Amino acid sequence: MNTATEPTRTPPAQATCGFRRVGRPVEGEAVILVPELQALLTDLHRLFESARRQRLAARVARQAEFDAGMLPDFRADTRSIREEDWTVAPIPAALQDRRVEITGPVDPKMVINALNSGASCFMADFEDSNAPSFANQITGQRALRDAVDGILSFTAPETGKRYALDPASRTVLIVRPRGWHLDEVHATVDGEAIGGGLFDLASFAFHNAKTLAWRERGPYFYLPKMECMEEARLWDEVMAFLEVRLNLPVGTMKATVLIETLPAVFEMHEILHTLRGRIVGLNCGRWDYIFSWLKTLRRHADKVLPERGQVTMAQPFLKAYSELLIQTCHRRGAHAMGGMAAQIPIKGDLDANERAMQRVRADKLREVTAGHDGTWVAHPALIPIAREVFDAHMPTKHQHHVQREDVQVTRDDLLKPSLGTITRAGFDNNVEVCVRYMAAWLAGSGCVPIHHLMEDAATAEISRTQLWRWLHHPTIAAKHGVPAEPLHLDDGTPVDWALFERALINLPSVIGDRRAMPGGDRVDAAIALLDRLTHADTLEAFLTSAAYPQLVESDLRAA
């Protein structure tokens, strides 16, 4: 640890013009949105908003090319980056061993339980497992600030049980801000919404970066949803600006990038190179990756995936993605992190629970023997299982020595769809998961247990996008000269709008008592949203973007 005196918190200063807080007041926001942070957010927005918008416009233009028939591929203009020898900057001691990471939203109870869990790292998530109401954002920032200070506690109102941080915890905190595509409409600069990712990252860094840097524990971030090296460069410029503004050495902030979009898998070397002064690894964000694969190739008649349960990491296109990530990272001296085990313990059924845990063991065994340096779990009960597997097969802190020179992945390997079927149960499950998750999300919960799996926005996106792709297949096929016939379930039933409507009509009986589910009072709104998004001629880029106006409607009405 550094021997310098631990820094004190930055005192408030006078408010800065340009920043405006929109909507209903949120408890505790004055503690987070101090005038100096408002000034910092104002400067960030003015410096980087134009570039953010340019990157988002570039995404739209690139998707239009994919819709017109182009396929993603490795870039010709960056061939030298892929072929030359170089490595990323040394990895800090606190991030050398990341064999088991737990992820979850930023509510105080989750933060305490995750930091007390014994995991190597905790990814505190402002993104896919968090519904971004402003109350959730502020509560999360307060929870993380108190956690860094070692004073976070929480008393459950329904039980009176008190939760507190274990002073002996060595779990490393990593924060995931929202992606470039999401706005924070509750905070504007010069009348424009601030980028959600800028708000999250800057707010956390402002309150915690000096303390974490003094302890040599960060600040560390997971960067989501990027599609190209230019988006990585924008993150790098933002973090460099913050480091200068907060009087930190450039490179203090470290990042792990989630490779969770199909375009990004073709630019992994480039992303590592762009962030080489601060990046420590790439992560197989498998659920978002499957969603992005579907979304990117949505207008290609031959790119259809079977139901979600059959799209496992054993499928060739996902195996190629995982192994290419390992090879790329280890060649460059970076960690290759594995994906999420979404299972949660099944109470009251020992046999079913054991089968579920065996699936977790098999998944983690696949990852560690392939060469991954660590993995993710969604529930504390899975940490011992994942750790046991990694400890048995990875006695060192990581596996950078596993170079995977045997891996030869082509563009077509990454684009070839997996074989499989669509069952009635799989179709209906997609409808149910979408509605249950969206109802909970609209009610403020971004992480929802459904059928013994922890569902977040990424898994709901797979279900939503599959429904759209399957149902629009005749139209897509017709534009490619393929017979405009519907897909079929494995029992021969056409996958058509009648099947979809029956699933929606039957859904209330499947759900049962709405009072027993998160967001039960938002089920009708969720059904209407799914119906609208599925019938739309164009696939909505993100469910969260489409649903965000409903989430914040009551807050903004007060503005």
Instruction: Please list the active-site residues.
Output: 176, 456
Which residues neighbour 430 within 8 Å (Cβ) at sequence distance 6 or greater?
307, 308, 463, 464, 466, 467
Do residues 340 and 286 lie in contact, with contact meaning Cβ atoms separated by under 8 Å? yes
DSSP per position, 106-154: -SHHHHHHHHTTT-SEEEEESSTTS---HHHHHHHHHHHHHHHHT--EE
Alpha helix segments (H runs only) across 68-120 = 79-83, 108-115
> Taking phi first (over 0 means left), then psi (-120 to 50 degrees means alpha), and beta for anything else, what does residue 52 get?
alpha
Residue among 312, 281, 297, 368 nearest 88 (CA) = 281
**Paired residues of 375 in beta bridges:** 100
Total count of residues recorded for the chain: 559
Please write down the long-range contacts of 197-200, taking CB distance under 8 Å and 24 or more positions apart.
198/41, 198/44, 198/45, 198/48, 198/52, 198/238, 199/41, 199/137, 200/126, 200/137, 200/141, 200/175
* Element housing 511 (H / E): helix 497-511
Q: Are 42 and 16 in contact (CB under 8 A)?
A: yes
- What 239-246 contacts at long range (C-beta under 8 Å, 24+ apart), as own/partner pairs, is 239/201, 239/278, 241/44, 241/47, 241/48, 242/40, 242/44, 242/201, 242/202, 242/205, 242/209, 245/40, 245/43, 246/205, 246/206, 246/209, 246/210
Q: Are 345 and 454 in contact (CB under 8 A)?
A: no
Residue 68, CB half-sphere, CA atoms under 13 Å: how many? 6
Using N-to-C axis directions, what is the helix angle for 457-471 and 424-442, rounded to 10°?
130
The bridge status of strand 192-195 relative to strand 183-189 is antiparallel
Q: Pick from 274, 185, 191, 206: which is nearest to 235 by CA?
A: 274
